[in-house]
Amino acid sequence: MKMTGLVLTNFYMVYRSMIIYTVGAIVTGAVLFIYIGDEKFFGVDAEFFVPRIIFLLSILPAFEVLKVAAKSGYDKYVLTFPVRRGTIVKSQYIFLAYITVAGIMVALGALYLFSLLSWISLDIFLYQEVISMFTIFILTGSVTFPLIYLFGATKSDIFVLLTFFGSYYVAGLISKAMQYIASLMDIDLHNFNVFIGFSVIFVLIGMLIYILSYYFSVTINNKKEF
C-alpha cells in the first residue's frame, strides 16, 4: 500500500504535464511527418526519427516528478513518512517504468493513426521499435536518476536529453555487438525465434543496468542530507 501511495502521488504531481506532453508529442510527430515526408532528416528516415521524438516527449514527465518534488518541498516532506528512502527511490523507478510503457502505447497508437492517413507503414514498428525504444528509455532512466539525485533536479531536462542520446548510442553498440556475436556463431537473425531470443537478451541487459542504477541511486540518496 505504501508503494502504491507513493507511485500515485508521483502521478498526481505531474498528470497535467503528462497530458500536455502527450498531446505535444502527437502534434510534433504529425508536423514532423508532414515536414519531412518520405525524405531524410539529417540522414535519417522519418519513420525512424519521429517515433523516438514522440517517445522522448512522452516520458519527460517521469523525470519532471523530481523537479516538482524539489520545488514544492515534497522531497523533504516525504522523508517524514514511515517509509525507507530506498522505497521512495523505488517508487520513482517504478513510475518511470509505467510511464515508459504508457509512452510506447501512445506512440504506437499515434503511429497507427498516422499510417491510416498517410504513406507511413507500421511494419517496422510492431516489434523491433518497441524493444529498442523500451531499452533506450530504461538506459536513459538508469543514468538520469543517479545524476538528478547527485546534482539536483534543476538540470533534469539537460540530463534527460544528454542521457537519451547517449543511451541511443549505447543501445546501438549493444545491438551491433549482438549482431557480431551472431555472425561469429553463424546464427541467422532473420529467423523469428532467434530474433525473439536476442531481443529478450537485449531487454534483460537494459533491465540489469536499471536495477544496478536503482541501488546506486539509493546509495546516493541515503548519503544526502536534507
Residues 127-154 have pLDDT tens digits of: 566 677 777 778 888 888 888 888 877 7
How high is the pLDDT of residue 95? 87
Task: Name the domain count of the chain.
Answer: 1
Q: What is the pLDDT of residues 92-126, one digit of tens each?
A: 898 888 888 887 777 777 777 777 766 556 555 55
pLDDT over threshold 70, residue 11 = yes
Give pLDDT, residue 118: 61
Q: Which tens digit of pLDDT belongs to each residue from 39-56? A: 555 455 556 667 777 777
- Give the whole-angstrom CA distance, residue 51 versus residue 193: 25
pLDDT higher than 70, residue 64? yes
Spatial distance between the Cα atoms of 123 and 47, rounded to a whole number of angstroms:
10
Residue with cell string 533534469: 156
For residue 26, the enclosing domain spans: 2-223
Cα 159 from Cα 124, distance rounded (Å)? 29
Question: 54 with 106: CB under 8 angstroms?
Answer: yes
Q: Name which of 98, 111, 97, 140 is nearest 46 in CA terms.
A: 111
What is the 8-class DSSP label of residue 128? I
Q: Are 70 and 191 in contact (CB under 8 A)?
A: no
Per-residue pLDDT, 212: 92
Phi and psi at 185, nearest 5°, equal -90, 5
Tell me what the mean pLDDT of segment 181-196 comes to: 66
DSSP per residue, 5-16: HHHHHHHHHHHH
Read off the pLDDT of each residue in 71-82 and give the average, rounded to a whole number: 80
